[in-house]
Structure 1
Amino acid sequence: MKIIDYKNSLVDSYKKNKRTFIFYLILRGLVILTLIRCILTKNYESAAICILSLLLFLMPAFLQQKMKIEFPAVFQAIIFGFIYAAEILGEVNHYYVIIPGWDTMLHTMNGFLCAAIGFSLIYLLNRGSKHFNLSPFYLTLVAFCFSMTVGVIWEFFEFTMDYFFYLDMQKDFVVQTIGSVTLDPNNSGMPFIISNITDTVINTADGQSYTVPGGYLDIGIIDTMKDLLVNLVGAVAFSIIGYTTLKFSKKSAIADNLMIKPVDGQEDNSKTF
């Protein structure tokens, strides 16, 4: 397919819902303006993030065309908003640091969206196969596990980036109480608890000294566990919606707007996923 034809097919897929398409154009315009600002200020790392965001905006339409599926308009809008909030607002504009809870909100949304994706893909496979028939509970369980697996893999990625490149993707927290068996002077294996920590002094081999005001610096553990916890909350939230929709055979506006569907005439081919 020619590039022009492919571009037109992407635009046509978004134009099926004018509100979503307008929302897409607004966010795309904001990303382009941010890209120009980053180039003018010679912030090329942020410029690369902007380019990545523009490419990610094309992914829903690309997947729809290649996999013969349809993302509901609401689901597409949420994906666009998530990409903009995570990459542009979070990374480029530093909302992760400026606004408390920004990272928590996005991880909760990620758990919800991944559960919706996992639920939809398994549902399409279950619906289109003559030899594959899952109960609503098992289907929901698989979707939940899919969401949690994505969350864990992302935390693995953050840890890898922090370990090798010191990017601090797993944000540090300052705590006032710690318990550690390593600090036990008797080596008895019992946790040695230090409370009411006011500051921590770090000395380096080259004679440098740094002070952490307010307590002890936790290295990413709290952030990782918090992210996984809110991912679980989001996954459970959609799992409940998906399970009740299948179990009681009731129409759910939420599920209908968030579940991926086969394009017209492709139901019989859904077993190819």
Structure 2
Amino acid sequence: MIRKIKQMWKAVHMELQEHKSSFLVYVILRLAVLLMMVLQLFNGNYENVFLCLLTLVLLMVPSFIQVNLKIELPTTLEIIILLFIFAAEILGEIQAYYIRFPGWDTLLHTVNGFLAAAIGFSLVDLLNRNEKVKFQLSPAFTAIVAFCFSMTIGVIWEFFECGMDLFLGFDMQKDTVLHSITSVMLDPTKGNHPVTIDGIKDVAVNGESLGLGGYLDIGLLDTMKDLFVNFIGAVVFSVIGFFYVKSRGKGKMARRFIPRRKKREADFLRIIQEEEKEEE
């Protein structure tokens, strides 16, 4: 067991160093996270220290996946994934970019929709190219599967955010300040007729003003916005993937985002295992 862990660890490190550009991004981000972790430790923000540790682990996930599943992530895709992790955990959570920049969450959810569609597409594409598996989908159905995979990931993430807010008292579903609301609950006749209140400038709770300048929506609009931009990202990649399959893999842009099977000479775990067998 220990031997296998050592082999895996060595293979992951070889995988990290395979492409100079992605390795350089990994090193820079790792150093930035370590620096942030030290600062948070000195400030006594232990929750943020945990987030830094989690980020360090997540930064190694792409290489771990490549070694174990024997797939090759294009350098462009790998760099985007690394930047996405850093942007979401360090900048978004610790540096509060989600609050400072209203479009930060929207940007990340759009990218997530795009990346998830790329992953879903690659799963089908790898099966389509596998001679041992009798599995073939047309370009249109491949694009549809990629789109559905991306939207499913988006929905599951929103379930996760809702659960964290309900049961642990977080605010992952960021609230929105509204100046008008429409609800059948306001109908005095109880006749299921929507009633609108316009020009809301202040709301009081238990007799105290919230000071927000409007009505506080509790995450619904944020959730729907996240799903909508996830939808946009999924559609964009699904269209790209459709033409990629249609042209039988000639699309240069799509190739930058679609994982492929590892070549034998790039299977570092196999190489390490064979070298150790020869030494024995």
Quick check: TM above 0.5? yes
Identity of aligned residues (%): 48
What's the TM-score, normalizing by structure 2?
Answer: 0.90
Matched, 1:174 2:173: no
Matched, 1:25 2:27: yes
2:204 aligned counterpart, secondary structure: strand
2:237 aligned counterpart, secondary structure: helix
Q: CA deviation at 1:165?
A: 1.8
- Superposition CA RMSD, Å: 1.5
Matched, 1:189 2:218: no
2:85 aligned counterpart, secondary structure: helix
2-side partners of 1:193 and 1:212: how far apart? 22
* Range that drifts further, 32-41 or 8-17: 8-17
1-side partners of 2:252 and 2:58: how far apart? 27
1-side partners of 2:180 and 2:236: how far apart? 33
2-side partners of 1:168 and 1:36: how far apart? 26
Q: CA deviation at 1:90?
A: 0.2
1:76 aligned counterpart, secondary structure: helix
Map 1:123-142 to 2 at 5 A. Answer: 123-128=125-130, 129-142=132-145
Aligned AA (1:245): Y
Map 1:96-107 to 2 at 5 A. Answer: 96-107=98-109
Partner residue in 2 for 1:37: 39
2-side partners of 1:3 and 1:26: how far apart? 26
Q: CA deviation at 1:30?
A: 0.2
Aligned AA (1:71): L
Partner residue in 2 for 1:232: 231
Q: CA deviation at 1:5?
A: 3.7
Partner residue in 1 for 2:64: 62
Deviation per residue, 1:31-75 (Å, 9 max, x gap): 000011111111000110000000011111111111111111111
2:203 aligned counterpart, secondary structure: strand
1:174 aligned counterpart, secondary structure: strand
Partner residue in 2 for 1:214: 213
1:29 aligned counterpart, secondary structure: helix
Give structure 2 stretches of 5+ with no counterpart. 266-280
Contact 2:25/2:79 (8 A) holds in 1: yes
1-side partners of 2:240 and 2:111: how far apart? 15
1-side partners of 2:76 and 2:249: how far apart? 20
Contact 2:113/2:231 (8 A) holds in 1: yes
Number of residues of Structure 1 aligned to a counterpart in Structure 2? 262
Give structure 1 stretches of 5+ with no counterpart. 267-273
2:186 aligned counterpart, secondary structure: coil
2-side partners of 1:3 and 1:245: how far apart? 38
Q: CA deviation at 1:6?
A: 2.9
Partner residue in 2 for 1:92: 94
Aligned AA (2:192): G
Partner residue in 2 for 1:11: 13
Partner residue in 2 for 1:247: 246
Partner residue in 2 for 1:271: none
Q: CA deviation at 1:120?
A: 0.2
